[in-house]
Amino acid sequence: MYRYDEFDQAFVAERVAEFRGQVARRLSGALTEDEFRPLRLMNGLYLQLHAYMLRVAIPYGMLSSRQLRQLAMIAERYDRGYGHFTTRQNIQFNWPRLTDVPDILAHLAEVEMHAIQTSGNCIRNVTTDPFAGVAADEIIDPRPVCELLRQWSSLHPEFSFLPRKFKIAVTGAAADRAAVFFHDIGLRAVAGDGREPGWQVIVGGGQGRTPMIGAVVREHVPNGQLLTYIEAIMRVYNLCGRRDNKYKARIKILVHELGLEAFREEVEAEFETLGVSTRQLEEKELARIATYFSAPGYAPAPGDEAALTTARALDGVFSAWVEQNAFPHRVPGHAAVTVTLKRPGGEPGDATAAQMRGLADLADRFSRGELRVTHEQNIVLAHVRKKDLKALWEGLAALDLAEANRGLVTDIIACPGLDYCALATARSIPIAQKISTRFAAPERQREIGPLAIKISGCINACGHHHVGHIGILGLNKAGEEYYQITLGGDATENAAIGERAGPGLSSDEVADAIERLVDHYIAVRQEGEPFLSAYRRLGADGFKEALYADRQNR
């Protein structure tokens, strides 16, 4: 994975010193709270419901075991012993004190980490496919471009006071595991047809209160011109994006109001005026960064397949975990394993300091000391020998992290909701807990098959409910929390926004309603047909009827 050189290290060290000075000036009154707010946000520090929350960047989700141990130390020393992994491949600490934050940032800098631009109206942490570099369907490894974007966007003089936050996602594979159609800018690798490797650029996607599927603004930008093209998009957005209403300030609204054609013309005109001098530099830098991501020298593993088959035959629980949580690796004899942070009844995405240390140790033993955080709030170990899967699984079981539920009904995405978040209108975590408890039986989960439930505690959609096969949106009417259900959302290359099923449900009704919905699906599905396919084939009516069956009977 990427390692800082002396320039990167000096940069984060200076940023820590800068923030220390900003905190001091806030405490002295030189900075008003209004002036301090964007500065602390640009260092990932939110003022939440009960306390400050620090969001630490995990650039494109890549973590070393050393970094994870440092996060565990921070969780213990400055927080309450746990951290929360988010849908943007970051980690959040919910209880730091303002005066401790500069020290926490210094501890992060010790392990080549930071909290730069995890919040604020700037370019946020770039996200990507957690299987980057190992997926069999990969066209271009997206991580060098992600790292180039991380550097270029860090403390960008021109683009740090944008109309609104700005999120970029990159996928290098044929399948989209980074939700590129739901970001301000999405990049998809393109190659072949005699073209040099490059990127399809998608713009104006997003969730929130106005969900939109992004549109292709350009079919192909060569690698070495990508930053220049993105700079052109950013400049048009910075100058033309709305600033009169924060709910209409995202680029998706600009694209929508201007129209894609007019927006494209603006961007292309800007792109034309920018010189070519920097493009060679980008190529050189991409080549330099790429050396950090060259495939590790995998040992040939001809006997692994047989060893795994034997181990699976002897232990059905282990076998089910392999079936569900192992992702095909491009190198024979290896697997990329998802460790879900979704124990039924638990808090989605949370990990204790002990679990973080345990995961770091397992990564060292079995996966080259490297981990990835996924936008589904799980952890991926990307380089596991198949003969080691059994020992890894046993190690995970000892950490209470061996759930065989990746992509299943209990692998629920949920935002922190009203338990933590100042913006939330309803609780998310207890709803996730009720549903995952209801469906806890492993056989039941496997019987249901692939099903993505996503829960947001407010209209801002941090829990990605719009793209859940079943989406749950928590709202509040006259002091009463209630939940709106959407059906048919899809975050992949077949992007779709879920449709609202009907009236809201009380928190007590949700789990029952979801269960009726699932039972209906099982009754009507064809052999091997996943929930989403059945929903698309049959249409919404039967599913809605099942969802509200109790009301009709009353």
Partner 1 sequence: MLIARTGEIANGWHRLDDSAPIPEGGDIIISHRRLNERLQHETAHGRIGLEVANDIDVGDLAGVLARLTLIAVEFPSFADGRGFSIARRLRHLGFNGELRAVGPLIADQLSHAIGSGFDTVEIPTALAERQPAAHWLAALTTVTTAYQGNTRGRRSILEARHGG
Stretches 22-30, 76-84, 93-101, 399-407: which one binds partner 1 (CB under 8 A)? 22-30
CA 364/CA 187 separation, integer angstroms: 32
Pick the binder of partner 1 from 4, 11, 78, 327 (CB under 8 A).
11
Q: Does 18 bind partner 1 (CB under 8 A)?
A: yes
Stretches 19-27, 88-96, 472-480, 487-495: which one binds partner 1 (CB under 8 A)? 19-27
> What is the Cα Rg of the chain in Å?
23
CA 3/CA 405 separation, integer angstroms: 33
Pairing between β-strand 127-128 and β-strand 168-171 as defined by DSSP bridges: parallel
Pick the binder of partner 1 from 1, 23, 26, 39 (CB under 8 A).
39
Q: Which is nearer to partner 1, 93 or 293 (CB)?
A: 293
- Helix then strand count (H, E) for the chain reads 19, 21
Q: Does 29 bind partner 1 (CB under 8 A)?
A: yes
Q: Does 238 bind partner 1 (CB under 8 A)?
A: yes
Of 46, 161, 28, the residue nearest 101 (C-alpha): 46
Stretches 135-143, 250-258, 279-287, 293-301: which one binds partner 1 (CB under 8 A)? 279-287
DSSP string, 515-526: HHHHHHHHHHPP
C-beta separation of 423 from 460 below 8 A: yes
Contact set for partner 1, span 138-157 (CB under 8 A): 151-152, 154-157
Minimum CB separation from partner 1 for residue 496, in Å?
Answer: 34
Q: Does 161 bind partner 1 (CB under 8 A)?
A: yes
Stretches 21-29, 123-131, 173-181, 424-432: which one binds partner 1 (CB under 8 A)? 21-29
Pick the binder of partner 1 from 1, 23, 26, 31 (CB under 8 A).
31
Q: Does 284 bind partner 1 (CB under 8 A)?
A: yes
Q: Which is nearer to partner 1, 32 or 552 (CB)?
A: 32
C-beta separation of 465 from 455 below 8 A: yes
Stretches 17-25, 46-54, 293-301, 505-513: which one binds partner 1 (CB under 8 A)? 17-25
Minimum CB separation from partner 1 for residue 154, in Å?
Answer: 6
Q: Which is nearer to partner 1, 139 or 155 (CB)?
A: 155
Stretches 255-263, 284-292, 354-362, 526-534: which one binds partner 1 (CB under 8 A)? 284-292
φ, ψ of residue 376 to 5 degrees: the values are -95, 15
DSSP string, 168-214: EEEE-BSS-SS-GGGSSEEEEEEEETTEEEEEEEEES-B-TTS-B--
Q: Does 10 bind partner 1 (CB under 8 A)?
A: yes
DSSP string, 157-175: SSSSS-SS-B-EEEE-BSS
Of 98, 94, 143, 153, the residue nearest 121 (C-alpha): 153
Minimum CB separation from partner 1 for residue 24, in Å?
Answer: 10
Identity (one letter) of the amino acid at 266? Answer: E
Identity (one letter) of the amino acid at 109? Answer: A
Q: Does 250 bind partner 1 (CB under 8 A)?
A: no
CA 215/CA 204 separation, integer angstroms: 6
Footprint on this chain of partner 1 (rule: CB under 8 A): 5, 7-8, 10-11, 14-15, 17-18, 21-22, 25, 29-32, 35, 38-39, 121, 151-152, 154-162, 235, 238-239, 243, 273-274, 278, 281-282, 284-285, 288
